[in-house]
Structures are given as structure tokens and as C-alpha cells.
């Protein structure tokens, strides 16, 4: 963690100064934008995107919280956050046994915090079934965090890393979110399952969270040497139009090596094509957010 902090300090010097540090004078900070990084398929790049987009947003001065809502906890470990038995986690937040504020930890990267998960989350689906406001547990926890108005725990972006399923954990994430961000792997069956995901978004919008929109779809693991990647990208763009970000995340070995070092790829190898792609994605998302706010 200390090594992370040292690298992070030099990393943060190499990027623009913060543009959105805590509001002086004790005024309530504006609500964060909450983005659910979701796709019920596993292995499509959700966690990788949550970690590296979060780091890229923090690098340009945003204050970012990554909420790990997957029992596997890859977002937590990929950020170098150790998961210990007995530790309070997002499970305890959903069960009302801890507030978000109690579980948030510093990632060692400036302006980037994490609410880690533990394996307890595996039981959450069943345990939530009989709990009041079971689909709004995360939304309520984030709202409470905002009401606390603690400058140390105020964020401009909250990214929720969802599990590979359309279960109650993902529904909690969609009920809390302003928008969904969908990583789509450039493979033959890329679009398979997407209609189910979009139907779920529509259902959540109608029944639970009218403000939910689709922020965008990001093509991941794009392999330039492979014609199939090109073909898939073309097909996805013809179906989803400008919902698909211009930025494409290439398949890049540095991206896959970084988590075993407990580091986002932007700290592991700032110059590699994977890092550069996530930096471009962050600016595209910030631009889209500005357009959405202006609309
Ligand atoms: N752009 C990429 N290039 C190479 N490997 C990647 C890339 N994105 C993700 N991976 C690797 O693919 C695997 C699945 O990614 P992950 O983000 O964990 O998917 P998900 O969270 O959707 O299950 C991980 O081992 C990850 O390191
Ligand atoms: Mg994951």
C-alpha cells in the first residue's frame, strides 16, 4: 500500500491539478454522478473498467469512490485494498450494519477511495429478500453519505462494480445509479445478452429509478490484429449508434498484469496503450456528463 502511495504521488504530479477539490465554506457538495458498471456476462472488463476509469478520473482531479459490489472483490484487490475476515464491507452496508463512511478505505491513490466487498456478499441476495427497501439499500447508503457532507468523503463520481449477474446486487446498483456504463467485449457473441440487460434497465427505470439512463457502451479487449474485433465493433456501432464511446479499450497485456501487483494499469505502466485508452475514456465520459447536464 505504501509503495502504491509513493508511486501515486509521483503519478499525480504528472497530471493536471485537481479541478474539483472540496467546496470551501462548508456548502453542501453537489451530489456525485453515480455510474453502475454492469453487464451480466463475466469476464467482459467490468472490474478492469471500474478500476482504471476510476483512476483516470481521479488523475484529472475528480474525487472518485469505487463501490465493490461483487463478492469476488476483484475491484478491491486490484486497487491494492486488502480484504480481511471480520472486516466491514459493502455487505454490511447493504444489511444496514455499517454506513458507507465506516467501510470506505483510501486506495493510496490521490482522490480515489474504495468501499471493498467481502465474500459475505455471496449471502446478501438471500438475506436481502426479507429486508425493507431491499432494492434501495445502496441508494439509501449513498444518500446518507451525501447528507453527512464530510469533505473527506465527498465524491464527484461513484463507480459501482457489479457482479456478473442481474441479481439483487446489480438491481441495487441500478436503483442507485444515474446511469449505466456497459463494458462489451469484442468477441463473436458480444451483443448476446445485451437486449436482456437493456430490458432490465428499462424495468428498473419504470419501477424503481426513473432517472436511470445509459451513459454509454465501451468496447473492451479490442484486438487490432483480429478482423473479428473490427467486425464486432462495426456491428455493435450499427446497433447502438452513438451510445458506443469512440474510445475503444485494446487488448493489452499490461492491463491484465496490473491487478496481480495490486495496482491500476495507470500506476503500473502509465504509458502503455491500455492506460492511454482509459485516460481517453475518462475525458469522453466527462464530456458526455457535461452534455447531459446542459441538456
Ligand atoms: N483490455 C484488456 N486487455 C487484456 N486483458 C484484459 C483487458 N480487460 C480485462 N482484461 C482481463 O480479462 C479478465 C476479465 O476482466 P474483468 O475486468 O475482471 O471482467 P469482469 O469484471 O467483467 O468479470 C481479467 O483477467 C482482466 O485482467
Ligand atoms: Mg468483475
* pLDDT range class, residue 27, cuts 50, 70, 90: low
Model pLDDT, residue 62:
97
- CB atoms within 5 A of ion ligand 2 belong to 46-47, 74
Nearest protein Cα to ligand 1, atom 8: 45
Q: For the chain, what is the mean pLDDT? A: 90
Q: What is the pLDDT of residues 248-264, one digit of tens each?
A: 999 999 999 999 999 99
> How long is the chain?
295
Residue 235 contacts residue 256 (beta carbons within 8 Å): no
* pLDDT range class, residue 8, cuts 50, 70, 90: very low
Between 85 and 101, where is the model more confident?
Answer: 101
- Starting from the CA of residue 70, give the closest ligand: 2
Cβ of 251 less than 6 Å from ligand 1: yes
Of the options 3.40.50.300, 3.90.550.40, 3.40.50.720, 3.40.50.150, the CATH number for the domain spanning 2-15+30-294: 3.40.50.300
The residues facing 248 across adjacent strands are 219
The model's pTM: 0.91
Model pLDDT, residue 14:
40
Atom index in ligand 1 nearest the CA of residue 161 equals: 21
Q: What is the pLDDT of residues 78-94, one digit of tens each?
A: 999 987 777 899 999 99
**Which of 43, 66, 187 best tests ligand 1's pocket when mutated (most atoms within 8 Å of CB)?**
43
Model pLDDT, residue 97:
96
Q: Is the pLDDT of residue 122 over 60?
A: yes
Q: How far is the CA of 124 from the centre of ligand 1 (A)?
A: 25
Q: How far is the CA of 1 from the centre of ligand 1 (A)?
A: 22
Domain positions in the chain are 2-15+30-294
Model pLDDT, residue 19:
39
Amino acid at each position: 500500500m505504501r509503495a502504491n502511495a509513493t508511486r501515486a504521488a509521483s503519478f499525480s504530479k504528472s497530471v493536471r491539478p485537481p479541478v474539483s477539490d472540496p467546496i470551501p465554506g462548508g456548502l453542501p457538495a453537489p451530489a456525485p454522478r453515480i455510474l453502475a458498471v454492469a453487464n451480466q456476462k463475466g469476464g467482459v472488463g467490468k472490474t478492469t473498467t471500474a478500476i482504471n476509469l476510476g483512476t483516470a478520473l481521479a488523475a484529472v482531479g475528480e474525487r472518485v469512490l469505487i463501490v465493490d459490489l461483487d463478492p469476488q472483490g476483484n475491484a478491491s484487490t486490484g486497487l491494492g485494498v486488502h480484504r480481511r475476515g471480520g472486516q466491514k464491507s459493502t455487505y454490511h452496508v447493504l444489511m444496514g450494519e455499517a454506513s458507507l463512511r465506516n467501510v470506505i478505505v483510501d486506495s493510496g491513490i490521490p482522490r480515489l477511495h474504495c468501499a471493498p466487498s467481502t465474500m459475505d456478499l455471496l449471502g446478501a441476495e438471500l438475506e436481502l429478500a426479507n429486508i425493507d427497501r431491499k432494492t434501495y439499500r445502496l441508494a439509501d447508503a449513498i444518500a446518507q453519505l451525501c447528507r453527512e457532507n464530510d469533505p473527506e468523503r465527498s465524491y464527484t463520481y461513484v463507480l459501482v462494480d457489479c457482479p456478473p449477474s442481474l441479481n439483487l446486487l446489480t438491481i441495487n446498483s441500478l436503483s442507485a445509479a444515474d446511469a449505466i456504463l456497459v463494458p462489451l467485449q469484442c468477441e463473436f457473441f458480444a451483443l448476446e445478452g445485451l437486449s436482456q440487460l437493456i430490458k432490465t434497465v428499462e424495468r428498473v427505470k419504470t419501477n424503481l429509478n426513473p432517472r436511470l439512463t445509459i451513459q454509454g457502451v465501451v468496447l473492451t479487449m479490442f484486438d487490432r490484429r483480429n478482423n473479428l474485433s473490427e467486425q464486432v465493433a462495426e456491428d455493435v456501432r450499427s446497433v447502438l449508434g452513438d451510445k458506443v464511446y469512440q474510445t475503444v479499450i485494446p487488448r493489452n497485456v499490461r492491463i491484465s498484469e496490473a491487478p496481480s501487483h495490486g495496482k491500476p494499469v495507470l500506476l503500473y505502466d502509465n504509458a502503455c496503450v491500455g492506460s492511454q485508452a482509459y485516460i481517453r475514456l475518462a475525458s469522453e465520459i466527462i464530456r458526455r456528463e457535461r452534455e447531459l447536464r446542459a441538456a
